[in-house]
Amino acid sequence: MNQLVDAPPQALAGEPAANPVERAPWAVVGRGLAHESAHLHVAGAAAYIDDLPELAGTLHCALGLSPVAHGTLRGIDLDALRALPGVVDVLTAQDIPGTNDCGPIVHDDPVLADGTVHYLGQPVFAVIATTRELARRAAARAREVLRIEALPAVLTPREAHERGQHLGAPMVLARESAPGGTRRAIEAAPHRRRGRFVLGGQEQFYLEGQICAAVPLEDGAMRVHSSTQHPSEMQHVVAHALGVAVHKVLVECRRMGGGFGGKESQSALFCAVAAVAARRLARPVKLRVDRDDDFMITGRRHGFEFDYEVGHDEAGRILGAEVLMICNAGFSTDLSPAVLTRAICHFDNAYWLPEVSIRGVLARTNTQSNTAFRGFGGPQGALAIEVIVDEIARALGRDPLEVRRVNYYAEKPGAGRDVTPYRQPVTDTVIHALTDELERTSDYRARRAAAAAFNATSPVLKKGLALTPVKFGISFNVSHFNQAGALVHVYTDGSVLVNHGGTEMGQGLNTKVAQVVAHELGLPLQRVRCTATDTSKVANTSATAASTGSDLNGKAAQAAARTVRERLAAFWVGRLQAATETPAGTKDAGASSSGTIAGPGGGAASASADRGASASAPGVPGIAVEALQPEHVVFADGWLRCGAHAVRFDEIVAQAYLARVQLWSDGFYATPGLHWDRATLTGHPFYYFAYGAAVSEVLVDTLTGETRLLRADLLHDVGRSLNPALDIGQVEGAYVQGLGWLTSEELVWHPKTGALLTHAPSTYKIPTANDVPADLRTALFDTACTVDSIHRSKAVGEPPLLLAFSAFLAIRDAVSAAGGHRMDPPLSAPATPEAVLRAVNAVM
């Protein structure tokens, strides 16, 4: 049951009054409109990089991968590779003219291995051949041509931590009434609990794999088509690899076939290799890896291990919490420090923790370097506290929802219990009202009683039910990334072209930005088009990540469109005023060629109420025509209106062009009020919080460990939705992706060789349509963002992934029922059938 998909436009509180048309039937903001490329996707006409026509002379590249997890590179038999059919050249680290590094933060991530190999699957050389198949065949000879002296490999984060193998110093966040306050609060608490929770990683499994096409241009410049979430970073990486200035590299991305964070930093290696090869050979080079190699080369969501101890009272209220987070960073830094920071900042989730101490470490292992994934550490940190709260409720014999409620942040700010561990006040919480609504609409109480009754009479099959909340901070936790630019061009026929720094990966960013621009100019959506993201149009952009795509780029595009709108309004008002100022019987050179302007109904509207200087503007009571201001003009339905005056948008645009009015503008936006102290992990890192909650009901077979999701009720806060249809899709897609992470997507490395064993769809199980419950009820919580976000909407990309916690904890509930709720189930994530069966055997 999808609600709000066809909802009418919503009143947008707090928006400027210059264009007061939010409730108009034609307004596109707030409508559940189709994705701008939906018709192309359905027809198979949406062009991705592999669909672009190959230029004459295009060569193809493949990567030779290390067959060992750790070792010293002693040599490569390049002559043997170059003698293979179709091979044009072979590149090694020594052939990179600039910098052999693609690390986004620390320079510890080589493009091609040099001296030491750090994981099984690390690229060591690149083969360039006349066809992709010949390149792949040559690259597959890596085991034969590489001479590597094996070294001991560390494959698990726990072992790395115990050995002291860390990337950077530990991160510590403590919010205590006095030094040592957390320890004292735990020791003085009526109840204490200690435990360990293991949480696996997750492969992004985008439909379009990593791909890049590099085309050499004149004077040493390079055009790069990359499937990337961060064109500006790819521009920098390519420039550094080539040893040229950034302005000589142009990176373009029309759309991606999914990204989920896996194309934020890790598309860099492929861009660098393709560009170096293209520069060296002076020919276009295309690099597209297959699914197996993509798995073996790239990193994924970080796995975590948590050691925790908490103290709580009889009601389940947490009095103190200590936690150690061991994050599996992989072999290099990549984005891991920022991921761990966000995990620490989201440990509180929706709960006020009076005394809390969190220590996080980045364990360096000989595995792929882990990277961004939808949620960026937030889901890992928040799941830890949810598991703890669930355990407290079970130990006390209470309904977990009751324990969650007593730990919620205060409903009203200023009443205490409203400051996060990192010192940011929580002033916008709606979690109480949202939980109340979901409890009622999901019939939570009755269904818990029904599940208990079912379990009492069913010895094999057990039902579980859980309701879990979400509080998710929105903004990059690196403050300077919270900026965006955009360009808006209005053409003389009244059509509009928009370019912004965000990237489209199927989430509907271009659709929302086009809606914002169309709303600002009072146009139907089909009059506005977004072009490919291009570093030569909008420079120095941030990644499309952290759920900020619409917030940042929507605001930047709105600013650009508003500038053009104000110019057109000022131009038209000037013409109206000029018509009133000319003496009777004469015509001002700047006035319209007639005294009337066609109205929306095809008739004529008076150019002025009176030719006298003291005339009032019709429809604008008390304001003389000469006192009209541009803000009195309303842009709506393809028209400009001011009282009884009206003119078509395309007509006034054509006139403005003849009068040499600038019809394009840039726009810029920087999120206000953000600050962060990396040393103390304190500040105001988030512009606002998004909230949500979900109820999931599962059925577990205690003989096989198999689970089935019976029903899910999702209620999510997206503020005043820009596009409810897209937002509903994002909520449901995020929930299912989170469901896969926590139930079926298991990453397994060979304990001796370090080979990733789950490197293809045959062994790595993402959720399918059969895993989506037949009864899926999704709704958007009706509220407005309390800060000046774009049209008072809220981000929707990452936060709803946390709704899947309810499914995992429902499985824990069912497993607990198998043992009569006598003990907490030792269930790790993902809750595969094997993991569930082990937990069932432990509790029975």
Catalytic site positions: 798
Q: 363 to each of 163, 169, 301, 412, how far by Cα in Å?
A: 9, 11, 14, 40
Structural tokens at position 168: 């950077």
Q: 226 CB contacts (<8 Å, ≥6 apart)?
A: 49, 211, 212, 234, 251, 252, 253, 267, 270, 271
Strands 675-677 and 682-684: antiparallel
Distance CA 499, CA 489 (A): 9
Distance CA 694, CA 716 (A): 8
Instruction: For Cα atoms 209, 210, 215, give the angle at the middle one, nearest 5 degrees.
Output: 130
Instruction: For Cα atoms 783, 772, 462, give the angle at the middle one, nearest 5 degrees.
Output: 105
Distance CA 129, CA 593 (A): 66
Query: Which alpha helices (H) appear in 522-648, and where do they start and end?
Result: 549-581
Distance CA 397, CA 431 (A): 24
Q: 127 to each of 64, 85, 276, 280, how far by Cα in Å?
A: 7, 11, 12, 13
Q: What are phi and psi of 191, to 5 degrees?
A: -135, 140
Structural tokens at position 386: 């949810």
Return the residue matching tokens 């109904």. Answer: 601
Return the residue matching tokens 């370019």. Answer: 499
233 contacts 101 by C-beta, under 8 angstroms: no
State whether residue 719 is helix, strand or coil: strand
DSSP letter string, 411-477 = SSTTSSS-B-TTS-B-----HHHHHHHHHHHTTHHHHHHHHHHHHHH-SSEEEEEEEEEEEEEES-S
